Every structure is written in C-alpha cells, then in structure tokens.
Amino acid sequence: MDEKSLIEMGFKDGQVIFVSVSAVRPARKADGHGPASYRLAPQIDKLPMMLLLNEPHFENLFNLLQQLSNLNLSNMNLNSQEHFGLKSKAKILSRNVWELLMVIPTNLRILNGLENAANEPESGDFSQFFKPCSPHKLMYCLQVVEHLSDQSIMNRKPIAHHGEGDSSTTQSDEPSPEFQQMWHQKFISQGGLKHLFEIFMSGSLQLKDTDEWNEWNQECLAYLLRLLSRFAVEDKENASDEAKQSEAKPANRQRSDKCLIPKLKKTILDTMVIENVLKILMSIASDAAIPSCSLSLHSGSWGRAEVVHFALAFLVSAAYSRPDVQPVFCSLPNLATWLKTLVLDAPEPNVRQEACQGFYRLCLGQAPDGTTGYAFLFPILKSLLLYLNTAQGMKSTHKQNGDNMPFKDSYGAGCMDYFWLVCRLVEAIKTEEQGQNTEEESQIDLNELASCVGEYIKKKGYVETRHNSVEDDSLIGLLHLMVAILKHNTAFKCSTDGQALLEDVCECLFALPNRVQRHLPKCKTPTSRMAAIDLLVELAKGSISNYVLLHGKIMKQHSKEVHSPYPWDYWPHEDIRSDCGYVGLTNLGATCYMATCMQHLYMIPQARQSVLQARCSLNDYQGTLLELQKMFAYLQESERKAYNPSSFCKVYTMDKQPLNTGEQKDMTEFFTDLISKLEDMSFDLKELVKSLFCGVLTNNVVSLDCPHVSRTIEEFYTVRCQVADMKNIYESLDEVTVKDTLEGDNMYTCSKCQKKVRAEKRACFKKLPQILCFNTMRYTFNMVTMMKEKVNTHFSFPLSLNVSGYVEKNLMKMNRGEEEDKVTEDPEMDTDDECYEYDLIGVTVHTGTADGGHYYSFIRDRLNQSENGQDKWYLFNDSEVKQFDAGQLAQECYGGEMTSKTYDSMTDKFMDFSFEKTNSAYMLFYERCKPGNKPNSSPVQPDKSDKDIVAKQSEEQIGDQPRLKFQLTEDLADWIWQDNMHFLQDKNIFEHTYFGFMWQMCAYLPTTLSKNEEDRKKIHLLSAKLITSFVLETLIHAKEKPTMLQWIELLTKQLNQYQEAGEWFLNMMTEDDWWPQEILIKCPNQIIRQMFQHLLIQVITQLKPRHVHLYHHPLTSLASSESGELQPIDPMEIGNESCVTRFIKKMLAILNSGVRANSKNLSEYFMFLYEFAKQGQEECLFLLQISTITAMIQFYMGQNTQDYIEVLSDDEDDDVITLTEDKFRSASLEKMITLIAKLVECSRTDRQLNLSDSDQACLIGGKGLPFLYNQIKDDINLKQTCNLIFSLTRWNDELAVNIITMVFSGISRNGSDYSQREPFFKLLSLLVEFAGGPPGLPTFTQYVMQHFWQVAEYCSQQCLEWISQQVTRNKLIHMWILNHMDTWVESYLLAQSNPRVRSAAAQLLIALVPSNNFRQAYRNSRSIASPMKEIHLSNEALIIMHQIYGHLLNLLSRAKDYADISLYGFNHLLSYFGLMTFCLLGRNEKLMFQPYFKDLWDMFQPRLSEPPIPTNHNKQSLLIFWYQVCIDCCHHTMGF
C-alpha cells in the first residue's frame, strides 16, 4: 500500500516522529495517478493482517512453522558446515514467521473458543486447542490463555508479543476485572489446569532420546510450566507480595534469606504422583542444562534458563505443599549427579544461576503457613560437597572483549554459582538445634570441611595475572566458603591449622614476586583480594592468638625499615603498567623525540636482544650503553607505567653536550646520532646496525655517446622523502630515483674518453636494509618570510610497500665489465632472491608547527597477534601506551585537511569549516618481508591474557630467524625486580580495599576479642600501635584518602583511651624522630601538619595529670631531699622522668638537624610548642629550664646549622642546594616569636626576668641586638615582637634606649631600600601607639623623638610620612613636632632638594592641624589654583593653623634664597606656596600677611620676574598665593 517501508525511509524502532499537518507538501509531477497516500483507505477486512487471519492462511502459517522446525536434511549430501548453515537459516525463518503471528490480531476462533470453553460447561473441551503434536499452536493458545487470565497476578511480562494492541478490533474495551477473575476460576474448574498438567505429564514436549530437543518444544514447555506455576499455586490474594515474586526470575543474588514459597492447590495435589512428577521435572531440568550441540543457534525469546527456572519453581512449590516429597527427593539415587549437572556442568551461566536460585529457595524458603525447607538443606549440601574437589579444580573460562576487559559468565562449565550456593547453605546451618539433631547434620563435620577447604586453598595454583587478569572463580569460591564455615566459630579457627591457614592467606595477599617467582601473589584481582581479606578478618575475629599473629604480619608492612620513604600524594594505581603490557617513557619537558625513538628501537626484537646482550668495547660509550640497557630492561620488566630517562639524558651527549631536557630536537637527527653511537659501542652492535638500518645507494652516470658508466656508492640509514607537491610515498620515491639528462652546457666529462658527452644521471637503491626508514620532509624554509614552515598537505603511504621498481638491477641495464669505476662490491648486494616487499611496522607523528610541537608513535607488535590473527598496533605517547586501531592510521598520519561543523549565528545554519591538520607522519619504519611470506603477515603467537609477555625473560621467533632471547644480566634483573617488589607492595597497600581491611583490624576486630581487662589493654595497645603506624606511615601519604578525618578521630581515641598507648606513642617518637620530621616539618600539606599537631597536643593533654609532677625532675626531687646542700644539676637530666618532657626535648633537638630547608612549613611546629606552653605555668618553666629560647634563637640566627642541605632526588646522585636567606618565610616563624614573648613574660618574678644567661645573651646580647634586629628586618610577627620588647624593657629603661637606638640604626643602615625599612617603622608605630599596660613600661615616645631627626637625614620622606601618621594619634609627638618647627620646617620644606620630601613636609604641617576635614581637603586638592572650599575649624585647630601659617610667613625672608633657578630649579617653592595658599581660609589669614609683603616683593623682584620663563612653577605658585591673599584686601596691591 505504501510507497516505501519505514526502514527504507530511515526510521528506527522507537523513534519519535513529529508531524506537522499544516506543512506545505511540494507538488508532484502529474502522471494521471496520485500516490497511494492520496487514495481512499481500504476496507478493514482487506488489510493484509486481517487476510492472514482467515483460513487457510492462518493454518498455513503454523504448517510452515512445523516444516521449518522439523526440517530433515538426512537425505541430502551435505557437510557439517552446510548442514549447520541450513539449520540455522531455518530457525531464523521460523522465528520470523512467529513474529508475524505476534503482530497480527489474535485469532477470533481460538479466542472465542477458549472463552466459551471456560464459560459453557457443555463446550469445555480444551483438547481441540491444546495439541502437543503442534507445539507452535499450543504455545499460541497458551498465550491466549495468559491474555484472558488475570494480568495482575503475573509478575513476569511475556517476552513474546501476542498482538494485544490489535486484538481490540472486535472488542474496543478490555474485559472487566470481574470477567477476568471469573474466567480464570472457570478455566480451572472446567479442567483446563488438569488438561495442561496432563500434557506436562505426557512428556510429549520433552527431549527424545533419538533426536535433538527442538527449540520450539523447549520454548513451549517453558511456557507451559509458567502457566502451571501460576495456575496451580494458591491465590495470591492470600499471600504477601514476596510470594508473588516466586515465579519471577530473581535478578540479584544479594537478596534476603527470607523468601516466601506459594503452595500448590489441592486440586493439583490430588492428581500428582510424586515419583513421576519428580522424575519428569528432574529430567526436564537435566535436559535443559546440557545442550546436545554447543554450536546450535538459539533464536528464540525463551531459553533453557526459563525451563530450569519454572521447572524448579514447580518443584519447590510441590515440596512445600506435600511432606512426602522430601524423603522421596532426598532418597533419589541420582540426586548428586543431577545436582552436579545443573550447578557445575551446565555450560550456560543463566542455567546455573537459575538452578542455584531454585535450590536456595528449596532449602531456605518459607511457606505462608511457616513451613520451611530446612530438611532439604543437609542432603543437598552433602551431595554438593561430594564435588568440591571437582569444583575447586575448574578453570575460569571468561574471555576478553576488544577492550581487553573480561566478560563475566562466558559459555562453559563453571563453579562460581556452585560456591555461591554452598556458601549460602553452610551459612544457614543451625549450630544449636532447637530440640533435635538430625542424622544428616552429624554427617557434615564443619571442622573437617574447614581443614579440607584450607588444604585446597594452600594447594591452589596460580591462575590470576597482574594485567588483564581473569578472576580465579574456584579460589574466590574456596575463600568465601571458608568464611562461611568459620562464621560458626569452629575449633579449626583457633587451632594450629587455622593459624597456618592465616599465614597462607597472608601469602596469597601480600607475597611479593621476584625475578624467579614472578607469579606471586596468588590473589591479584580485586574480587579475590577482597575475598581473602574477608577470610583474614573472619580468622582474627574472636581469636586473640590469630589477631596477634595477623597484627605482627601487618605491622611489618608499615615499618619504615621495609620500604623507602613514600612521596606525598602517592597513589601507585595511577603509575601501574598499561593494560596492553608496555611501558612508556616520561617526558622531562621536551624529550618526546627521544621517547619515540627509543620505543621504535625497543619494539624491534633484534635490536632489543642485541642491546641487552651487548658489552661495550669503548669506555667513552660505556655509561651510555649501560643506561640504554637499563632503559630497555625497565621497558621489558617493570610494573610501573613509565620510565624516567633523566639518568640517560645526563650521560648521552649530542654535539659534545648532555641532552637538554628542555630543548626540542629533531627526531631524525637524534635517531641517526643514536644508531651511529651504537655502531661505535661494540662490534656486535655495529653488525646489528648495518644489518637492520644500513642500505646502499648508487649514483649512476650513463654516457649516451660512449659505452662508459660512472658509478659511486654511498650508505644511508634513512631515506628523505619530499612531501610538498607529492601525493604519496611512491611519488616521493620516483622523485628520489628520477632520471636527469646532462646535455648542452651541462654535459658530462667522461673520465675515460676525456671528452664532453651527453649522459643520464640517476640514483638507485643497490642494497635495501632490513628496516627501511623514511624521513618525510615536512619542514621547509620560506624564502619570502625567511621563516621555517611545516608542510601539512596530504601524504599517504601503504601498509605494504613494494620497492622493486626503485632498485638498481631493475632501473639500470648495464655491463659491469664496462664500468669506469671499479668498485669492490659486497656479494650480499647482488642477491637475486632478495624480497622487495616491506610491511609497515611503525610511524612517528609530529603535531604542531615548525617552531615546536610534539612527537608520538604508532608501532606494530611483531611478537603477538590478536586471537583473530590481526596485527596489534599501539600508541606510544610519552608515558601513555594503549592499543590502537590500525584502520585509523590514515586519519591520524596522512595530514591534509579536516572538516567540522560550525554554527553560524548570522545565517542560523551549520557551516562546513575546513582547516589543515597539524598532525602528520614524520618518520616511517618498514620491515622487509621474508620470501614467501605475504605482506602484513607475521607468525601468529598465542595471545596471552597477561601482557607480561613483554616483561618476561622470553624467547620468541620472528619468521625464519633464530629464536630471540631477551635475557637480562644478573645486575639488571636484580635492579629492576627490586624496584618491582617495592612498587607492587605499595600497590597492594595503597588501595581502598586494603584501607577498609585496616579499619576492621583497628576498629572492629579488637571489639570482638576477650572481655578480660588485662587482655583488653594488651589488644588495645596492639591496635593503637597498628593504627598509628598505618596512619602516620602510609595513609597520610596517599593521594586518595576520603576517610582521613575518621582515621584521625579513631587514632586520637585509641591513644587517649589508655595512657599506655599515649606513652608508647611519645616514647616511640622520642627514640626516633622520623614521624615528627616527616609529618610536622617536611610534609607539604598544611592540613596534615595541623592534624598531627592537634594529635600531639591531645595526647600530651591526656597524659598531663599523670606526668605533670615529673616535668621538672630532678629539680623537684632535689628540693624535697633532706640534704640542704645544692648539687650542680646537668640540664640534660631535667625532664627525663616523663615521656612528655623527653618528647619535647626531642622536638627541640630537631631544630639542629637540618630543618632550615623546610622552614616554610614550621608554622605547625612552633604552634605545637606554643600550645604546650599554653597548658600552664609548669610547661613554661620546663621550656625555660631546657633553654628553649636559646634553641629557637640559635636556629633562627643559623648558628648551629650548616651552610648547605642535602636534597634527595630521584637520581642516584644527590644534589646539593645551598641555603639562601629567602628560604626563610616570616609567616612560618610567627609562632616562634609568640612563644618567645610568652616564655619571657612567664619568667618574670616581681620586677625581674629570671632568664638564664644563654637566653639573655641570645635575646639582648651582642652588638646591636642582632636577634631583635633580624626578626624586625624579616618582618616576623611585629605585634608579638612589640610584646616581647615590652616584656624585656619593663623596669629597664636602659634596654629600651638601646632597642630604640637599634631600630633607628636599622633604618639608617638600610639606606634607600624602602621595603627593608618598612618593618622598623611598623614597630615604631606599635611602640609609640601603645597606651596603658602594666607598670614599668618605659616612655618609648620620648626615646623615639630624641633620635628621630637624626634618622630623618637618611630617609627623610619615609620619616616624615611616618611622623605625619603619628601626630594624629599621639599627643606627645604632636606637641613635640609643633613646638620644634624652627628645627625642621625650613630644612625639609625649603632646603630639601627632593620634591617628595618637600611634599611630605607639607603633609606633616597639615597633619598638625587637628581637623579631619582640613586634612582631607588638602589631600583632595588637585592643584594650588583649585578654588578653596569653606572649612570650619575648631578654636584649637584654628590656633594651631595660625601658628603654622605664621611660621611659614616668617620664612618668606629666607625663602627668596631658594628662588634661584640656577641652583634650585623652577618648582622648588611649589609646596611652600601651595601650603600657604591652602591656609588662606578667611580674611584674618590674609591680614596676617600684611607685614610680610615686602619679603614677598623682594622674592618676586627680580628673581622671579625676570627672565620671563613660561614654565616657572615657582613664579606661578607665588602669583597664585598673591592673588588669593589680595582678594578682599586691596591694600596688598599697593606695591604695584
């Protein structure tokens, strides 16, 4: 009817289409016939779907299904493949016919017939509809029955569609719920259920012994069992929602142990013969589990898993409905074999899962009336355990997809579901029976079973690998089974066998591989490791001996002696070897050229073997060869992601200089230089380079006028290919070997004939190397722009290259006897059987411009192929290595242009935007094919799931070449595997699964052990030691630690709960200060340092009540002794009685152990000491007794530190870095000053400071007070420095004077450096601004002003600016400055040559006026000519302003001396006159000027009036002042 099908129109199933009925349709060409869509709709009974419902079409569809299903090919002479193909095609066609039946409406004859058969007793004959001989029609009728029944009780939606949407052609509405329920009940009452059960019992749909089980019979049987399981059980209205789920397939194994089982109805139970029903159900399940042909194509919607599901569902309901089922079922002789078939041998994973779910419900289900299936548990468990040995010996059959990710539950027998079921049954065993013990229970000895499983675990082989591993299901199952057994607290757990098992499991988890035993450990995948960890937890749970044993093994892993120091933010999983099995090279800045070259060389097996086995004959290259061998060994054996080639760059030289890692180089130049050096290293390497890379090129000149030929030979390693104006590599090779005619003025002079002749010149390939390298000339020099440019045009190259057309014997036809140049040739050059076919094995791509960019490579693996025989290509991009699709080589390497869609907002359209690719091939590597081998073919090696093939000491064979041995020397193997061991240990520890295990070890397991107080203390101390070592040694170094806060809280709780734990913690760090130095000082993470500092303070606070009286021993013991004689006390003995004070002394000693390199991290260190001092007077006195002030000041002054520090680098050699002053950061030392100030004040008694001689000498000793001077200069916490000065100078005026002298000396000493003088002025401000305070403080303001003007001579501007700020805050300074104007105003306002100083002096005079409005108005005035605003001053301010103004008027007589242009310039008096102009607030100020008019005139005439200079600012400012003062005062103009 329609013109095109929906598929032809491009529509997809489920696609949403929006149709606009108002859209204008373009006119069609008139042909006399309109389209089908314009015609009238046909009648309903003429539609194709309605026609198919009529006879005989409808019956013919079933006949066609029957013929396709029973297709007999025995009479045809077909091979197995042809037979299988025809059978598969028949199945697909039969499925298409069935789908057609599902699309058309439901057949009315069958639908009405089934309705009437249930509603009318006289017509209740169901045999005409349910005919087992026709499974297709039977299944069709069963679906109609399902449709007519109550849909609400169905939990599983039918997978096969039955056209329910189209069935409304006869009925517009669905039947009412009353009708549905009535029909359902009548169908059962009229014998419909009984008839279905008879069909089931007849076995007509089951597998026949002489034939293969038909797919349609199987599917129909599944549907029949489905309806039986639905109709035969009790009504769901009387059951809970969980019972309604019994017929549905469970979706998840992790489900509740409580599952309700519906019982069968009495009507069906009365007709059942248990033995026969069990026999049929077991036969059905067994036949469904094991297919006769594993290659058969399954095209249906219902599979074998559904058959097993519904068969077991019916069996379970029958077992819970009749008590006689259990003895019959459990006494079956083939029960164990049947269980093995379903649970272990079934190749389909879904079948095994359904079987295990069914047996789980059979044993652990519960009927609505409370009946359980516990009686089935022991017989089934006993039968399953008979095959425990078989299950544990099964191998995983999981396969991998294209992304190297394993598929779970692949086809084939498996043990995963077996172990799941056995574990659930073992867990459900009731160890304490309520009332009776059954005979079966006594036959299952859990201790014996635990011993057996433990032995299996111990003897289990090594299946899992480190890369792309397939999980060992049997090992995982054994571990889970052991956990389930140990949950019953068997005697095995605490026995010696249990402890031996614990050690074995630890080996399975933590055993480290070595060069001999590379397969260790046994558990490598996350699932198996998690299972092993669960077993360790269960073994240690409730057993003190096992916990102590496990604790000792775990503690060894977190001791700093067994591993090198961890870096910060460490996460080894980010640095693990690539899944493809290859190792990258770290880019050190601009070393991508070196990385790509090395990877190409390494991926050539012959080169790798020769380099690893080479012995250097020249000392000049011995270091280079050693580093190259180390690099290759690392690439082959390492478990890390990438190798750091810094040591190679140090020894390798180009142009007699080591490689500069920040300088970009050309990859071809480096490649040529490298192989040249390899030739010089040893004879073997020279032969290798010659055989692999060296070719011979001949330059031939053939004379056309004489019979002579001139021929020269040269070697080449790379072939330069032109890219510009070339399409592909063949055109470039044509350019290399192009014929050039020498004629005319360019004729060739024949050396033999001694005359000019015409000749043809051509270059040819005489001998081709094994590895043919091409250098595409992508860089050109533009003579117009005089710049280097990159050619990004399209340039293609094939995967298989034929170069036979470019060799000499095919290009040149000549007689060797007539050659002019007699050249002794290598006989290997003239091999007639030489192959000229080459396969592409590698491409180096350059992305970027001619000025800079990046290199990366695509390289073919020549040792391994994929399972389908295809070549494997890999992308080597610095440290990243991953598999690459060779089909993308053209897109990635050919260059050219690419087009993308860009949205144009102006046209509201997507426009095509083309631009040149910046990535294109720069070097090509081709390998010669062996004679007889096809291009692009290489020997197929078995594809190993573990990519460690490239990391083994392996032997491989390439074509006809001898086997290659990638054998490492003893030293190299030991070196690389030592690194691997450390890395793999770190990888096992730094993972979230292990962190969770440690949480159970530290937080959960101790709570399950003994309740005895003594044992609890012992366990708690062990737990505290473990968590402390784990957190401080491992966890804080991890990059991913989301639960860090919880760990710190747990650690704090553990250390504070028992004082013994806290004492151990402090004693541990007293003996070894590794943790304080690493965490509190060297850690770059401030949050970590703060948490550790808080932890220390909390531990000390918790121990204070018990230890505070020991802080001052032996001083307190001496004071309390009976002897009155005072004995000299060694300061080193003070505080040795308490772990707290010993730890504090150790912390102070850290200052002398080279911490200056980390001085920027010392904030938390000094904060810790300060927090300790804040705890009380006893702590402060102790710190004073051990000379804390002296230690900190000496550290700061650098008296006990060396002039250099050692910084450990990744290289073997240590770098020495000298310390400079800028290494100190003032912010990190602020708390040090705070602590010193607090300790100084705490030492005071009455009016004296009881400081030791060393403390006083450090604080205030030395010439110029060096400590105070340096800390002020470094601007370290000036506020606390001020407090320190106050504490030192109370009742000590002499020291106050010295300090002020030192401050002003510092100001003078720093000269013109404003930033260095600034801290001294800040301190002066703090000293003079302080008001009040304790008695005894000296008057710093007075001392400051006594020295102020002396210093002002050196830094006038800064002093005047500072004093301007102080006069507004300090009345004493204000009064002093105002009263001494005679001493400073003229000097700084007039005599000073610096205009900024004169401006600062003017600002100071303005600041003397106590009026904010007056000061602000002066700051805001843009020029002296700006109009004056009315300012209201108080009487006090007005008096002071008049005093200042009067003083300025008095200076008029001396100001004329500074008007000399030749000496002072044109703007010397600008500030002076501007200030006086600003003071003219009213008439009074103008009248004050009258006595000084003569002085003003003397200044103006003649100094400023002549000569007339238009830019004389002095004259301008004077005239402005004169103008302002004459306004409203005309008598001021009488001088004119």
Which candidate, 1059, 1010, 1039, places its Cα nearest to that of 568? 1039
Q: In a 10 Å sphere around its CB, with 0-12 CB exposed, 13-18 middle and 19+ buried, how is residue 1395 labelled?
A: middle
More confident residue, 1366 or 1114: 1366
| Phi/psi of residue 480, nearest 5 degrees | -65, -40
* C-alpha span between 1134 and 1116 (Å, rounded): 10
| Phi/psi of residue 1267, nearest 5 degrees | -65, -50
Are residues 1464 and 1511 in contact, defined by beta-carbon separation less than 8 angstroms?
no
**pLDDT value at position 819?**
44
pLDDT band at 1423 (very low <50, low <70, confident <90, very high): low
* C-alpha span between 25 and 956 (Å, rounded): 69
Question: Does residue 130 register a pLDDT over 80?
Answer: no
Are residues 965 and 973 in contact, defined by beta-carbon separation less than 8 angstroms?
no
Q: Cis bond leading into 1507, ω under 30°?
A: yes
Element (H, E) at 921: strand 919-928
pLDDT band at 975 (very low <50, low <70, confident <90, very high): confident
Q: Cis bond leading into 521, ω under 30°?
A: yes
DSSP state of 1080: I
More confident residue, 1001 or 27: 1001
| Phi/psi of residue 764, nearest 5 degrees | -135, 160
Which residues are within 8 A (CB) of 350 and not within 5 positions of it... i.e. 6 or more apart?
Answer: 303, 304, 305, 409
Catalytic residue positions, numbered: 592, 854
In the chain, the percentage of residues whose pLDDT exceeds 70 is 76
For 542-556, 959-973, 1510-1524, which range has the lowest pLDDT when averaged over its residues?
A: 959-973
Beta bridge partners of 1244: 1249
pLDDT band at 132 (very low <50, low <70, confident <90, very high): low
Q: Cis bond leading into 1502, ω under 30°?
A: yes
Are residues 382 and 443 in contact, defined by beta-carbon separation less than 8 angstroms?
yes
pLDDT digits (tens, 9 = 90+) for 202-226: 766 666 655 566 667 777 777 777 8
Are residues 1295 and 1289 in contact, defined by beta-carbon separation less than 8 angstroms?
yes
Which candidate, 576, 594, 618, places its Cα nearest to that of 670? 594
Is 1521 strand, coil or helix?
helix
- Residue 1312: CB atoms within 10 A of its CB come to 10
More confident residue, 238 or 1209: 238
Element (H, E) at 775: strand 771-777
Question: Does residue 1506 register a pLDDT over 70?
Answer: no
Which candidate, 1145, 1244, 1151, 1264, places its Cα nearest to that of 1199? 1151
* C-alpha span between 664 and 639 (Å, rounded): 29
Q: What is the mean pLDDT of residues 656-675?
A: 87
Length of the chain: 1536
pLDDT band at 1207 (very low <50, low <70, confident <90, very high): very low
pLDDT digits (tens, 9 = 90+) for 426-461: 888 886 543 344 454 456 788 888 899 889 998 888
Beta bridge partners of 1248: 1245
**pLDDT value at position 1476?**
85
Which candidate, 464, 468, 408, places its Cα nearest to that of 882? 468
At position 987, the amino acid (one-letter code) is: K
Beta bridge partners of 843: 858, 924
Which candidate, 964, 956, 958, 963, places its Cα nearest to that of 933? 958
Are residues 772 and 803 in contact, defined by beta-carbon separation less than 8 angstroms?
yes
* C-alpha span between 924 and 715 (Å, rounded): 18
* C-alpha span between 690 and 490 (Å, rounded): 71
Are residues 65 and 98 in contact, defined by beta-carbon separation less than 8 angstroms?
yes
* C-alpha span between 1153 and 1260 (Å, rounded): 25
At position 16, the amino acid (one-letter code) is: V
Q: What is the mean pLDDT of residues 186-200?
A: 71
* C-alpha span between 878 and 1413 (Å, rounded): 68
Are residues 259 and 242 in contact, defined by beta-carbon separation less than 8 angstroms?
yes
Report the Cα–Cα distance between both ends of the chain, in Å, rounded.
119
* C-alpha span between 901 and 913 (Å, rounded): 6
**pLDDT value at position 535?**
92
pLDDT digits (tens, 9 = 90+) for 484-530: 999 888 888 888 988 999 999 999 898 888 888 888 888 888 888 99
Which candidate, 478, 473, 454, 455, places its Cα nearest to that of 463? 473
Which candidate, 216, 247, 185, 177, places its Cα nearest to that of 69? 216
Is 720 strand, coil or helix?
strand
pLDDT digits (tens, 9 = 90+) for 70-129: 776 666 666 767 766 777 787 777 777 777 777 778 777 777 777 776 666 555 566 666
- Mean pLDDT, the chain, integer: 77
Residue the block writes with tokens 């059960």: 197
Tokens for 759, please give them: 């000749």
Question: Does residue 392 register a pLDDT over 80?
Answer: yes
Q: How, if at all, do strands 642-643 and 584-585 pair?
A: parallel
pLDDT digits (tens, 9 = 90+) for 530-585: 999 999 999 998 888 889 999 988 988 888 777 788 888 889 888 888 888 889 99
Q: Each residue of 247-263: b (16+ CB within 10 Å) or e?
A: bebbeeeeeeeebbbbb
Which candidate, 128, 132, 136, places its Cα nearest to that of 65? 136
* C-alpha span between 493 and 385 (Å, rounded): 20
Q: How, if at all, do strands 755-757 and 695-703 pair?
A: unpaired
